[in-house]
Amino acid sequence: MTLSSDPRRLRLIDEMGLGPVWVHRVAPQDEPHVSDTSVPRTIRIATLDWQPMRDEVTSCVACELSRTRTQTVFGVGVQRPDWLIIGEAPGAEEDACGEPFVGQAGKLLDAMLVAVGLARTRNVFIANVLKCRPPGNRDPAPGEIASCRPYLERQIELLAPRMILVVGKVASSALLGGDQPMSRLRGKRLSLTIAGREIPLVATYHPAYLLRSGEEKAKAWADLCFAREVYEELGVTAA
Ligand code: URA
């Protein structure tokens, strides 16, 4: 057993409120993920490799949404994506087919991505703050966001995206904290620090909102162009 998998040390870290930040991780091939059930859930998830985490999400019962979902929606796309797109939560169609953004909003999102040279099959990963559908598409509850957050953080860490595009106020607030309207968040180079790595982040309107408020599409387009500039400033070009 190494320091990073010692259950007593991990529990102590959790009780001190230090969370996974201080956990020294070794390469997955050197150490299997921690399976000791006495280890706090957040810290255990922070050690999971991709497929074990996917399996755990599939059978997750950490919150009430597990009772009403048809299936979990883990995310879709490529590993090591240029952009990671983060939405709010699966809707009815996503819950039915197990993939994010497949409904009308998803079609618009795909069109927006294509317009800046991106595609979920090529250079993007798409995930949500929640892996399960809130009944009636209500807003995610704070407890549900907190329960799902370790999965999203571990996804971000393992995917290591070059940048993040977050769509919608709910997802932006969940990721960044605070309660700022999109009008204050958009047009800025924000960032999210995950496992010690600062990742550039741009926020824009949710495609479902754009479907209802067509007059905002021009702003979303400006946001995507801005995000593209941020990405290009990183010194990489999408394939
Ligand atoms: N809206 C979201 O935020 N995510 C989805 O996957 C679908 C709709």
Tally the domains of the chain: 1
Parallel/antiparallel/unpaired status of strands 76-77 and 124-128: antiparallel
Cα of 129 vs centre of ligand 1, distance in Å, is 9
Q: Say how far apart CA 17 and CA 29 lie, in whole Å.
A: 28
Q: Which two tokens stand for residue 222?
A: 């400006």
For residue 161, tell me if it sits in a domain: yes
Amino acid 136: pLDDT:
95
For residue 182, give Cα distances in angstroms to 7, 179, 198.
41, 9, 21
Amino acid 34: pLDDT:
53
Q: Say how far apart CA 148 and CA 64 lie, in whole Å.
A: 12
For residue 23, tell me if it sits in a domain: no
Parallel/antiparallel/unpaired status of strands 163-167 and 124-128: unpaired
| 3-state DSSP assignment of residue 28 | coil
Segments forming the whole domain that contains residue 102: 33-233
Distance of CA 210 to the CA centre of its chain: 21
* Residue type present at position 114: V
For residue 229, give Cα distances in angstroms to 65, 86, 173, 182, 185.
38, 19, 23, 19, 17
pTM over 0.75: yes
Amino acid 94: pLDDT:
98
For a mutational test of ligand 1's pocket, the pick from 69, 74, 88, i.e. the residue with the most ligand atoms closer than 8 A to its C-beta, is: 88
Cα of 195 vs centre of ligand 1, distance in Å, is 25
Amino acid 32: pLDDT:
44
For residue 64, tell me if it sits in a domain: yes
Q: Which residues line ligand 1 (CB under 6 A)?
A: 87-91, 94, 100-101, 105-106, 128, 208
For residue 229, tell me if it sits in a domain: yes
Cα of 208 vs centre of ligand 1, distance in Å, is 8
For residue 3, tell me if it sits in a domain: no
For residue 2, tell me if it sits in a domain: no
For residue 69, tell me if it sits in a domain: yes
Amino acid 38: pLDDT:
79
Binned average pLDDT, 10 residues per bin, the chain of 239 residues: 48 45 40 64 97 98 98 98 98 98 97 96 97 97 98 98 98 97 97 98 98 96 97 76
For residue 200, tell me if it sits in a domain: yes
Amino acid 47: pLDDT:
97
CATH of the domain at 73: 3.40.470.10
Name which residue sits closest to atom 7 of ligand 1, judged by CA: 101
